[in-house]
Structures are given as C-alpha cells and as structure tokens.
Amino acid sequence: MRIQGADQPGALARRSSRLDWYRTLSPSGRAAFWATFGGWALDAYNQMTVGFVLPAVTAAFALSTTQTGLLGTVGLVTSAVGGAMAGALADAVGRVRVLILSIGSYALFTLLAGCAQSYEQLLVFLTLQALGFGGEWAAGAVLVAEYAQTTQRGRVIGAVQSAWSIGYAGVLVANTLAFSLAPPELAWRMMFWLGAVPAVVLLWVRTRVQESPLYRAEVAARRALPGQAAGRPGSALLGLFRRDQLRVTLASALLSIGVMGAGLAFWLPTIWSRCAT
C-alpha cells in the first residue's frame, strides 16, 4: 500500500529546483542581472514619480489641464522611441554601453527635472529623461537573456520584471517622506533628486558589467565577414517587419499594449488628490 505523502521529499526537491535559476547564472551573469534589476526598479520609480508630483507641479507652475496631461504623457511616448533606438544601438555598440548611456542620461535629466524653473524646462527634461528610461529594458532584457540558460530564461526575465514592484514601493515611501518633511513646492523637487542618487550608483555598477559571451561571439562573427555583409545598425529592427516575422511582431506589440494599459495607474495619485480636496 502506498503511504500518502511518501513522495513529499521529492516534490519539495522539485519545487526548490524551480528557484535554482539564479545559481545557473555565471558571476558575470549575476552582475548583469542585478544591474538590470536595479535599472528596472528605477524605471518604475521614474514613471510613478511624475504621477505623484503632478498635483504639486500643476500648482507650482499654474498649469492648465492640457499642460498637465502633456507632462504625464510625454515620457510614455518618448520611452517607446528610446526603446527602439536603444535596441538598434545595442546591436551596434553593445548592450552594456547602451545600459551605461541610458542610466547616465536618466541620472542627469532626473536631476535637472528637479531643478526646472518653468513648465517648458520640465517638459524638455522629462522628454529627454524618457529616452534613457525606454533604453533600460530594451538593452537590459537582452543582456540578461543572453546570460541565462535557455531552460531558465523565462524565470530570469520574470525575476528582473519583479523589480517594478520594488520601484513602485520606493516611490510610495519617498512621496510620504518628502511631502511630510517639506512644503509641496520643494517636495516634488526632492522626489526627482531622490531618484537621481541611486541612478549615479547604478551607473558605477554598470561600468563593471561585461558583455555576454553570446554577444562577444556575434561581434567576432561580424568581423570575420566582408565589410558590407557584416550587418548594419538597425537592420535587426527592420527585420521585425519582414513578411515572415510580421505576424509575431504585431502580436507581441498588441500584447505589450495590453500590459502597458496598466499605465492608467499613473493617474491615480492625481485622482486621489482631487478627491481628497
């Protein structure tokens, strides 16, 4: 007779093995993982910071509804452009270089956003900040995927995406502290400055991240080809719209639009503040 639960040790072993994805990463892969994880958390902080400070910014610069809406929208639109640019550039110059460039621009324009003296300045800084924001995931996801084993790739990428919740929690804490310790006209600036500080630390971390062996092999293969056949920057991006790839590209884009529909949460802080008043 089979004793109920006799196979529990085996079941527990199988469950624990599902958490072994991190152990399969090489030391360089783990460094890439944490560098990308931190960037994705900062992306969440960045996007939600604008949502939380919009009421204070609206009051500080006496903005119209249209101007407020533009401040909230420009980053989402420009980040899509930044993602496409970063993807093409990552194939040309390397994933790590693009990650360094993206976090460097993020740190600079986040700091400047907190120093903006007019609506026009803030709009420009948020627009440029979003280019780096969009480049984070485009280059980071590819780098981590190249380090991950094929059988563990989904778990590794999923773990990186979980950083979004950490960034979201961070902006909630920062918002509570900033608006409790400072008047609204200073607190919204502090929110941006608090986002720039970890970006500088992450910039230093990424200077120590190495390109994946997969990418290095690809670069070596390109150099072995005749000049014109070695490929051009952006050719992979155009390849997504080939007839044999178009269906997958459109389906993936539709799925992404559905996921980003959760971006409606961006406006919740403004809604809450207006309901409270």
Closest CA to 128 of 141, 144, 112, 143: 112
Q: Is the dihedral of CA 201, 202, 203, 205 positive or negative?
A: positive
Q: Provide the domain count of the chain.
A: 1
Q: What pTM was estimated for this model as a whole? A: 0.80
- Number of neighbours of residue 237 by Cβ within 10 angstroms: 13
122 within domain boundaries: yes
259 within domain boundaries: no
pLDDT given at position 1: 40
Mean pLDDT by 10 residues, the chain (277 residues): 47 58 91 92 86 90 88 82 86 91 90 94 92 84 91 90 90 93 95 90 89 90 65 62 82 68 58 59
15 within domain boundaries: no
238 within domain boundaries: no
Measured between alpha carbons, how far is 218 from 74 in angstroms, rounded to an integer?
35
Cα 64 to Cα 127, 178, 184: the distances in Å are 19, 25, 18
19 within domain boundaries: no
108 within domain boundaries: yes
241 within domain boundaries: no
Question: What is the domain-level CATH number for residue 54?
Answer: 1.20.1250.20
Range of the domain at 91: 25-216
Q: Is the dihedral of CA 125, 127, 128, 129 positive or negative?
A: positive
144 within domain boundaries: yes
